[in-house]
Structure 1
Amino acid sequence: MRILMPLALLAGGLAAGGLAVSVLAAPLFTTLPTGMYVPVHQGLVTRFDPFMPISLLSCLLCDLALVVTAPLTAVRVLAALGGLLLAAAMTVSLSKNVPINRWLSTLDPQALPADFASRDPRERWIRWNRVRGALALAALLANVGAAGVLI
């Protein structure tokens, strides 16, 4: 308990911090010319992978352990809620953001597909990144609530 809760809060805080990407990067992404957007996105994503998946998974594992080991029902319930929210964040990441990131990583910024304008993923990526970040932030709040119960 003395180790799991601080680890859950640390990993959850790091994962929720990914929301800053959409707050900071979204305005930049939407204003960049297409030829600059692709390399900037490629550079940014390589710095957040594997940071984000490791943070989400670490927090999820801590929450699952807390569900099993916590001495109080309220802590177990809040940890379970946090775990569900993290699982949802991971699902959004894997099913929505990762495919966009993978596709963009295959592109040559100097030779974009002719139909790139119609396939430009900026708005979708930003929207799903915000959803993922909001879920991670909600999970962090559930874990803070669990920590508060323990205090």
Structure 2
Amino acid sequence: MITWLLSVAVLAGSGVVAGVLFAVALSVLPALIAMPADRYVYAHQLIGRRWDPTMPIIVLTSTAIDVVLAFLADSRKPLFVAGAVLLLAVSVVSHFCNVPINRVVKKLDPERIPAGWRDPRPLWRRFHLLRTFLAVLAVVVNAAAVVPA
């Protein structure tokens, strides 16, 4: 019973992570890229208010559940390990690549963009697409681990 509950939880968690990141990549990011710098900074600051700590908690909890399932699983152990590694990679990319950019943007005054400002959107986009790919792969791997053959 516990394995079933954890399996549902890891699918829900990794699915939410993949879905949120996919939605941002598909809709939010193109909108932010199309904006002038001042509107981008303002919108980025508004959109980013609720991500922390919600998304890190979901990603790390799902990672931990994958680790527990790896210990409980028999032949599916490699899939749960792969799911955990992929979700951990999502967390690493977020924490070390996207979050530092977010912190810089949060400190900007949208009405006073400094001269020579380096637009972080292209770099942020690359990192975001990487973590989105990893998250989608994680939910696919978790689904393969949970769904009986």
Q: Which letter maps to 1:136?
A: A
Looking at structure 1, the residues matched to 93 and 18 of structure 2 have their Cα atoms a distance apart, in angstroms, of 14
Is 1:67 the counterpart of 2:70? The answer is: yes
Which residue does 1:11 correspond to in 2?
A: 13
Q: Deviation string for 1:79-134 (max 9, x for gaps)?
A: 00001111111111111100000111111111122121xx1001111111111111
Q: Which letter maps to 1:16?
A: A
Looking at structure 2, the residues matched to 133 and 20 of structure 1 have their Cα atoms a distance apart, in angstroms, of 9
Q: Which letter maps to 1:137?
A: V
- Give the aligned CA root-mean-square deviation in angstroms: 1.2
Identical-residue share of aligned pairs (%):
36
Correspondence for 1:32 among 31, 35, 39: 35
Which residue does 1:105 correspond to in 2?
A: 106
Correspondence for 2:25 among 22, 32, 37: 22
Looking at structure 2, the residues matched to 54 and 22 of structure 1 have their Cα atoms a distance apart, in angstroms, of 20
Is 1:129 the counterpart of 2:131? The answer is: no
Q: Is the 8 A contact 1:89 1:132 kept in 2?
A: yes
Q: In the TM superposition, what is the alpha-carbon distance from 1:49 to its structure 2 partner?
A: 2.2
| Pairs aligned (count) | 146
Q: Which moves more between the two structures, 47-56 or 93-102?
A: 47-56
SS at the partner of 2:111? coil
Q: In the TM superposition, what is the alpha-carbon distance from 1:27 to its structure 2 partner?
A: 1.5
What pairs up with 1:68-87 in 2 under 5 angstroms? 68-70=71-73, 72-73=74-75, 75-87=76-88
Q: Deviation string for 1:17-57 (max 9, x for gaps)?
A: 12210111121112101110001011111122222211111
Looking at structure 1, the residues matched to 72 and 29 of structure 2 have their Cα atoms a distance apart, in angstroms, of 40
* Structure 1: segments with no counterpart, 5+ residues: none
Is 1:53 the counterpart of 2:56? The answer is: yes
**TM-score when normalising by structure 2:** 0.93
SS at the partner of 1:113? coil
Q: Which letter maps to 2:112?
A: A
